[in-house]
Amino acid sequence: MNTAIVLTIAIFLLLYITEKRRFFNAVVLGFLGLYILSTIISHYPLLLPNEQGIMSKMGIVIILGSFPSMMFILSIATFFNSKVLLEKEGRKVRNLLLAVFGLVFFIMMIWYVFVIFTNIEHEIWHILFFYAFLIFGYTMFLYTSVMAYATIYLFTPIFYEPNYIIALGSGLIGDKVPPLLASRLDEAVKQYKKYGERPYIIVSGGQGSDEKVSEAYAMKKYVVDVHQIPTKKILMEDQSTNTEQNLVFSKEIMDKHAQGKKYRSLFVTNNFHVFRASIYAKKARLDAQGVGSKTALYYLPNAFTREFIGLLEMYKWIHVTIFLFITLFIGIILRSYV
């Protein structure tokens, strides 16, 4: 096996075993995927040059045709998903997010065909496309890496018994628990029963400006009324307004409730949100892994894309620095042609 692949696997396993809740783990997994893909391509006969160093016609067709084909398929898929979201979830701006990405995919496809297949001789067009391709490629590399690692993290079993189960809030409709939040609470109760009804359930969420009661109050009422869970087994955290506060404030409640004793916890959220929430748990110094509740399939692509943007924002200065380096690199190349 390729030495680079073996080394990358070793690094990934070391990072994964020592701390699963790390964005860098996803990046290393992405590089591992690239190494494996490049190894497969280098051993694929159609793509290899012949004795004269000339690549086969089939190889050229595959290389030149795969990019626009992929962009076209992705653009159609994103437009279709946005259409379904608008029909099922209402005409909200956030439901158009994938359509925006689809438009970007379509523009990249047209630009690629325009530059590659129209024999443009001016180098600046090629350099500008290369710049756009680097930015696009970097973003797609991160997106694919995060999606793959988030899936691995989601299906990683938990090998300890928690003392507390934190159900993260996600918003109410008036004073009612909507289906998305209900799925989290149902999963929290499932975990509670899995561990012999010994853990405490913490319902976490404050009151928004458009909500009649706090999320924690509505969540507690749902768990008691629907699942018949004793009120003494439910703790309320009703001050938080986002995921980070959910976990920080829940930790304060657990620290006080445990009275100095050691404890372990897990948090429950929707499956698309587990990885990002786990990073917030790490930042809060909370010894907790995540469990995901089910989400409607049509909702996942858009929801995960929002999660990905949230992850980029968490590490924005790293990504901004990389974008600046790419821009500087392209600027130096352009300078030589001006």
Question: pLDDT, tens digit, for every residue of 229-260?
Answer: 999 999 999 999 999 999 999 999 999 999 98
Share of the chain above pLDDT 90, in %: 52
Quote the longest CA-to-CA distance of the chain: 79
Which residues, including other chains, have CB under 8 Å from residue 98's CB and lie 6 or more apart?
78, 79, 81, 82, 85, 301, 302, 305
Q: For residue 150, what are its two tokens?
A: 């988030």
Q: How confident is the model at residue 219 (pLDDT cuts 50, 70, 90)?
A: very high
DSSP 1-49: --HHHHHHHHHHHHHHHH-SS-HHHHHHHHHHHHHHHHHHHHT-GGGSB
Determine the pLDDT at residue 204: 95
Determine the pLDDT at residue 181: 92
Determine the pLDDT at residue 50: 53
CA distance 257 to 237: 12
CA distances from 110 to 114, 118, 123, 165, 244 (A): 6, 11, 18, 50, 41
Q: What is the mean pLDDT of residues 93-118?
A: 76
pLDDT tens track for 123-153? 777 788 888 888 888 998 999 999 999 999 9
* Structural domain boundaries in the chain: 1-49, 65-156+299-338, 164-295
Which residue, 32, 260, 18, is CA-closest to 145? Answer: 32
Determine the pLDDT at residue 298: 82
pTM summary value: 0.85
Q: Judge whether residue 56 has pLDDT over 60.
A: no
Q: How many CB atoms lie within 10 A of CB 320?
A: 11
Check if the beta carbon of residue 19 is closer than 8 Å to that of residue 149. Answer: no
Q: Judge whether residue 73 has pLDDT over 90.
A: no
Which residue, 138, 186, 105, 148, is CA-closest to 16? Answer: 148
Q: Judge whether residue 168 has pLDDT over 60.
A: yes
Share of the chain above pLDDT 70, in %: 86
CA distance 239 to 231: 19
Check if the beta carbon of residue 138 is closer than 8 Å to that of residue 326. Answer: yes
β-strand pairing of 200-204 with 164-168: parallel
Determine the pLDDT at residue 248: 95
Q: What is the mean pLDDT of residues 297-317?
A: 89
Which amino acid is residue 151, in one-letter code? T
CATH class of the region 164-295: alpha beta
Check if the beta carbon of residue 204 is closer than 8 Å to that of residue 237. Answer: yes
β-strand pairing of 265-270 with 164-168: parallel
Determine the pLDDT at residue 102: 81
Q: What is the mean pLDDT of residues 268-279?
A: 95
pLDDT tens track for 190-205? 999 999 999 999 999 9
DSSP 243-306: HHHHHHHHHHHHHHHHTT----EEEEEEGGGHHHHHHHHHHTT--EEEEEEP--GGGHHHHHHH
| DSSP designation for 338 | -
Determine the pLDDT at residue 44: 61
Check if the beta carbon of residue 185 is closer than 8 Å to that of residue 205. Answer: no
Which residues, including other chains, have CB under 8 Å from residue 293's CB and lie 6 or more apart?
183, 184, 186, 187, 268, 269, 270, 271
Check if the beta carbon of residue 235 is closer than 8 Å to that of residue 253. Answer: yes
Q: Judge whether residue 299 has pLDDT over 90.
A: no
How does the average pLDDT of the chain come out, rounded? 85
Q: Judge whether residue 54 has pLDDT over 60.
A: no
Q: How confident is the model at residue 208 (pLDDT cuts 50, 70, 90)?
A: confident
